[in-house]
Amino acid sequence: MIVTLIIACEVAFWVLLAAGLAFRYVFRMPRLGLALLLCEPLLEIVLFAVTATDLRNGAEPDWRHGLAAVYIGFTVGLGHSTIKWADARVAHRFAGGPPAVRPPKYGRARAVHEWKVAGRWTLAALVAVALLQAAVRYVGGDGDTGSLRAWQQRMLFVVGVNVVIAASYTLFPKREPKGGPEPEPKDGPEREPAKMD
* Interval 22-46: pLDDT, tens: 999 999 999 999 999 999 999 999 9
Q: From residue 23, give the alpha-carbon distance in Å to each of 12, 16, 79.
A: 16, 10, 19
Residue 140 region by backbone torsions, left for phi larger than 0, else alpha for psi between -120 and 50, else beta = left
Contact 61, 139 (CB under 8 A): yes
Q: What is the pTM of this model?
A: 0.84
Rounded (5°) CA angle 155-119-153? 10
Half-sphere exposure for 145 (CA within 13 Å, toward CB):
17
Q: Which pLDDT value is given to residue 55?
A: 87
Q: What is the C-alpha to C-alpha distance for residues 137 and 61, in angstroms, rounded to an integer? A: 12
127 contacts 152 by C-beta, under 8 angstroms: no
User: pLDDT tier at 182 (50, 70, 90 boundaries)?
Assistant: low
Give the SS3 label for residue 153: helix
What percent of the chain has pLDDT above 90?
A: 74
